[in-house]
Structure 1
């Protein structure tokens, strides 16, 4: 995956529209399907609960909404959202191995230093896009430690792309 500059305003605008659309679509589908199931299969006796039909309606509504969202992810409107989603998945994969990678990076392992550099660069990008500035100072100081370690071993870290397969080494 390659780090790409994303327009924050477009990303936030598209993300907000997608979130609101998903929630509204999910709610409408859940209610409509639940009511349809109750009208077709519900009992007419008063006092009986139709909880099961409503729950089935929610499950079906969620499945349909998720299916529609997954089918739309390749649309140009979703470009920034899908990029950030993929980046967050990659960050999660790296995070699960950070406990093994970071000590190797401190020992000067080239691959580990590159992984940590990419990880911190990608985190900084996502934090800025999501307005998560509270932990930015800590992130920058951790990234500086990796940069200093690379400099100590006479390495230049300018990597803006990353292959997930590299993680299998750790």
Structure 2
């Protein structure tokens, strides 16, 4: 399934991410305590029942999260998770993609452009900068110049995971 870049306000994303993280942590604590107390009442307590209570709390929190993640107000979170997932997949192919770039493979140039755009967008959404990584900056410039030499736009609209099938992993 093709992934397409979307614009999201970084401040809105960070605010929602903080809120959701705190809510989930609080929910985990409450569930873990409730399950631990219920197990202690039913079976007399003990260390392993407390551990089981925490595990059950984690499972319950995960189930609630799985149900809520499809809600419209979770759109930014879903987008960032998908972006991270695709960037992770591409990073497994970076050596092969770099070889492809050296061979002037247009698909490799497209995927590498996606990778650098995605990394930049992720950094922006998280309120970070990529200016401290000289290798990444140099490679981004190489990709930009190679795309320009082939008459391609500097930016891509998205990424098709099927494009990676032409490259050998790692």
8 A Cα contact 1:118 1:161, kept in partner? yes
Instruction: Provide the residue aligned with 2:12 in structure 1.
Output: 10
Query: What SS is found at the alignment partner of 2:97?
Result: helix
The Cα of 1:71 is off from its aligned counterpart by 1.2
List structure 1 segments (4+ residues) > 4 angstroms apart after TM superposition.
134-137
Instruction: Provide the residue aligned with 1:161 in structure 2.
Output: 158
The Cα of 1:39 is off from its aligned counterpart by 1.1
Alignment of 1:15-164 (within 5 A): 15-42=17-44, 50-133=46-129, 135=131, 138=134, 139-164=136-161
Aligned length: 164
Tell me the distance in 2 between the aligned counterparts of 1:130 and 1:28. Answer: 28
Q: Which has the larger radius of gyration?
A: 1
8 A Cα contact 1:26 1:65, kept in partner? yes
Tell me the distance in 2 between the aligned counterparts of 1:132 and 1:61. Answer: 33
TM-score by length of 2: 0.90
1:64-87 CA distance string (max 9 Å, x none): 111111111111111101100110
- Residue segments in structure 1 that go unaligned for 5+ positions in a row: 44-49
Tell me the distance in 2 between the aligned counterparts of 1:88 and 1:99. Answer: 19
Tell me the distance in 2 between the aligned counterparts of 1:37 and 1:20. Answer: 26
Tell me the distance in 1 between the aligned counterparts of 2:152 and 2:75. Answer: 33
TM-score by length of 1: 0.90
The Cα of 1:88 is off from its aligned counterpart by 0.2
Tell me the distance in 1 between the aligned counterparts of 2:59 and 2:109. Answer: 41
What's the RMSD between the two structures over aligned residues? 1.5
- Residue segments in structure 2 that go unaligned for 5+ positions in a row: none
